[in-house]
Amino acid sequence: MKKNKFIVIEGLEGSGKTTACQIIKKILLSHNIKKIIIVRQPGSTLISEKIRSIIKKDYKTEKLNKFSELFLLYSARFQLMENIIKPSLKKGVWIISDRHNLSSIAYQGGGRNIDQSLIQMLNNLINKISKPDLTIFLDVSVEIGLKRALLRSNFDRIEKQSKKFFLKVRKYYFKFLLSEKNKIIINANNNIKVMKENIKNQLNTWINKN
């Protein structure tokens, strides 16, 4: 039987991460892997979901400081790692996580210009709890991603950022993906059917090898 793994999905808004999590779950089930949980970041614990709503809401009369945003995101991540991911991995459960450390490198480091050494320090603490076995990056253009996100619902606080912000986020994703050993990059500009086939082919190959 295969050892359980911690799989992370990353990408810009509208890249299809939520859709891909369900696709990945079905692929795992086809390998007779039954113990699977899907989590989202920030979120997926009681406290982390409360933090998520603070992060997404535009309070209008009070701007969320970029360091407050960073530490809130990591507070949510520590809650999730300690309370859900670590115990589940111990029980042999496969984890599919919608976003993880790389989002903070790209959004807070790239988008908000926070020093990467601070983010790296926090990532090191998170990685001590557990490190992902695989990162699947859904690569969508900023224009297509935002168009999809807008079709789905009104923009939240972060989605209201400028195109320049998201171009920097995308640039940082790629800069840091270079050093990521276990990764799969999927062209997410394609329609869902093509994206699904690409994920299926690459993930099946990875599962058979690992």
The site for ligand Z5A (CB under 6 A) is made up of 11, 13-19, 40-42, 55, 73, 99, 103-104, 107-108, 148-149, 152, 158-159, 188, 190-192, 195
Q: State both tokens at 177.
A: 């993906």
Judged by CB, which is closer to ligand Z5A: 74, or 94? 74
3-state helix, strand, coil in the chain (%, to 5): 55, 15, 30
Q: Which is nearer to ligand Z5A, 128 or 208 (CB)?
A: 128
Nearest approach, Cβ of 30 to ligand Z5A (angstroms)?
20
The nearer residue to ligand Z5A, 14 or 132, going by C-beta atoms, is 14
Q: Which of 159, 25, 168, 48 is nearest to 108 (CA)?
A: 168
Residue 32 C-beta: closest distance to ligand Z5A, Å:
26
Nearest distance in Å: CB 3, ligand Z5A: 26
Residues recorded for the chain: 210
C-alpha pair distances (Å), 87 with each of 37, 116, 134: 12, 29, 19
Query: Least Å distance between CB 21 and ligand Z5A?
Result: 8
Nearer residue to ligand Z5A within complex by CB, 113 or 210: 113
Residue 21: partners with Cβ closer than 8 Å, 6 or more residues away:
9, 38, 96, 98
Nearer to ligand Z5A, 55 or 85 (CB): 55
What are 95's strand-pairing partners?
6, 37
Q: How far apart are CA 57 and CA 158, in angstroms?
A: 9
How many CA atoms does the CB half-sphere of 139 hold within 13 Å?
Answer: 12
How far, in Å, CA of 90 to CA of 144, rounded?
A: 39
Residue facing ligand Z5A at closest CB distance: 16
| Min CB(46)–ligand Z5A separation in Å | 17
